[in-house]
Amino acid sequence: MQYGIRLRAEPDMSWDEFCTLLAGIMPETPLGQIVQIRSENDREKLKNFSPEQKRIRNEWRTRELKQAKWTDEEARKAVQEFQKIIQQAFG
């Protein structure tokens, strides 16, 4: 736990503050490790990925390809649903 907080216990956190904290996630945290795996494009590093790292990256890339095929309406609905979840979580 990089910041020593639990998001669910932070009812007054603004969206901007959340984004700032998220942008500062260090690679040593579990979330930071997943982000690093998902975003890696260096072929030499990819050759050394474990089977689990390859699985994580492939699942993310497959998900991105599926999302790229969303219609404008599907994308709008997904954004609305995400905003609803965030609003419920952070008031």
Q: Is the pTM of this model over 0.75?
A: no
Give the residue with greater pLDDT, 27 vs 53.
53
Instruction: Name the residue with tokens 């494009």.
Output: 41
pLDDT at 64 over 80: no
- Give the domain ranges of the chain: 7-90
Residues 41-63: tens digit of each pLDDT = 999 999 999 999 999 999 988 88
Cα 48 to chain centroid distance, Å, stands at: 23
The DSSP code for 4 is S
pLDDT band at 65 (very low <50, low <70, confident <90, very high): confident
> What is the share, in percent, of the chain residues with pLDDT greater than 90?
24
